[in-house]
């Protein structure tokens, strides 16, 4: 019970890494808020967690919509009185290609650029903007941001996505500096290729594994492996860690 009695908001918890994290956090004793814009998936995860005898609630959330974010945070505080953990995990990537342009910048229209940054980067800003004041009142909290290897390496092919994830890395560092004095820790995970719907639509696990042959572990990651990292950074076990940019990528970043 590494998160016993803690209130944890996980954005994008209806699928992939967020879903794996919601299940793991709940099994470790957290009251999990599934902040997800896909109603069907969010409700499904809520049901699965409750069926396993743990606590979770789905709250429909679009992280890029300020009013919506403010309402959700207010509801969480009304219900639980506090927020101990915020896992900013929601994001759109390669699987959103039918809706947004995922391409080098010369081929990226401004509108698509703004939409992608609006979710992946502004979403982190907005969730933090309304959660940090609660954590300041409590004098404590842990925020984990989900960036990407794209945030630290020059991965080509989706420049708006890459810029948004670089922004998340920079925002993590400055938030760690700004709010450390209130005992708020802010850390960041940079996943490599993880087997979730985000990449499944684009490349098969086999094709990705081929691209990753040069990586030390030579395989694609599982969503549960990101959830484990998020659990560690969210829990008191990492109480002296803040501002960390942590690749969870089978060692790809050192090749």
Ligand X SMILES: NC(=O)c1ccc[n+]([C@@H]2O[C@H](COP(=O)([O-])OP(=O)(O)OC[C@H]3O[C@@H](n4cnc5c(N)ncnc54)[C@H](O)[C@@H]3O)[C@@H](O)[C@H]2O)c1
Q: Which residue ranges make up the site for ligand X (CB under 6 A)?
A: 11-12, 14-18, 36-38, 41, 61-64, 89-93, 95, 119, 123, 146, 148, 191, 193-194, 196-199
Whether the CA torsion 35, 121, 28, 79 is positive or negative: it is: negative
Q: 212 catalytic, yes or no?
A: no
Instruction: Specify the DSSP class assigned to residue 194.
Output: B
Distance between CA atoms of residues 95 and 57, nearest Å: 26
Query: With respect to ligand X, which residue has the nearer C-beta, 48 or 138?
Result: 48
Query: With respect to ligand X, which residue has the nearer C-beta, 119 or 184?
Result: 119
Distance between CA atoms of residues 43 and 113, nearest Å: 30
Distance between CA atoms of residues 3 and 245, nearest Å: 22
Query: With respect to ligand X, which residue has the nearer C-beta, 140 or 224?
Result: 224
Q: Which of 161, 179, 212, 240 is catalytic?
A: 161
Q: What does the block give as tokens for 76?
A: 């969480």
Q: What does the block give as tokens for 220?
A: 């694609």
Distance between CA atoms of residues 150 and 183, nearest Å: 29
CB of 38 to ligand X, least distance (A): 4
Backbone angles phi, psi at 24, to 5 degrees: -65, -45
CB of 140 to ligand X, least distance (A): 25
CB of 90 to ligand X, least distance (A): 4
CB of 143 to ligand X, least distance (A): 14
Query: With respect to ligand X, which residue has the nearer C-beta, 138 or 228?
Result: 228
Distance between CA atoms of residues 69 and 18, nearest Å: 17
Beta bridge partners of 11: 35
Query: With respect to ligand X, which residue has the nearer C-beta, 5 or 201?
Result: 201
- Taking the alpha carbons at both ends of the chain, their separation in whole angstroms is 36
Beta bridge partners of 102: none
Q: How many residues does the structure list for the chain?
A: 255
CB of 67 to ligand X, least distance (A): 13
Q: Which residues are catalytic?
A: 161
């Amino acid at each position: 019970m590494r998160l016993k009695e803690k209130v944890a908001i996980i954005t994008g918890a209806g699928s992939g890494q967020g879903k794996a994290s919601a299940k793991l956090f709940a099994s470790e004793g957290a009251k999990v808020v599934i902040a997800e814009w896909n109603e069907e998936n969010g409700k499904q995860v809520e049901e699965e967690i409750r069926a396993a005898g743990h606590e979770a609630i789905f709250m429909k959330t679009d992280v890029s919509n300020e009013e919506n974010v403010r309402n959700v945070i207010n509801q969480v505080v009304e219900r639980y009185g506090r927020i101990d953990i915020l896992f900013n995990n929601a994001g759109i990537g390669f699987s959103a290609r039918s809706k947004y342009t995922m391409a080098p910048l010369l081929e990226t229209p401004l509108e698509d650029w703004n939409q992608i940054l609006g979710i992946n980067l502004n979403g982190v800003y907005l969730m933090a903007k309304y959660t940090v004041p609660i954590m300041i009142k409590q004098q404590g909290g842990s925020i984990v941001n989900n960036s990407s290897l794209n945030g630290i390496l020059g991965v080509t092919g989706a420049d708006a996505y890459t810029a948004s994830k670089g922004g998340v890395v920079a925002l993590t560092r400055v938030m760690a500096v700004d709010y450390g004095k209130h005992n708020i820790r802010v850390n960041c995970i940079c996943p490599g290729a993880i087997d979730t719907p985000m990449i499944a639509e684009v490349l098969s696990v086999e094709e990705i594994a081929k691209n990753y042959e040069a990586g030390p572990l030579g395989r694609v990651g599982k969503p549960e492996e990101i959830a484990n990292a998020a659990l560690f950074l969210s829990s008191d076990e990492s109480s002296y860690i803040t501002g960390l940019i942590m690749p969870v990528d089978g060692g790809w970043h050192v090749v």
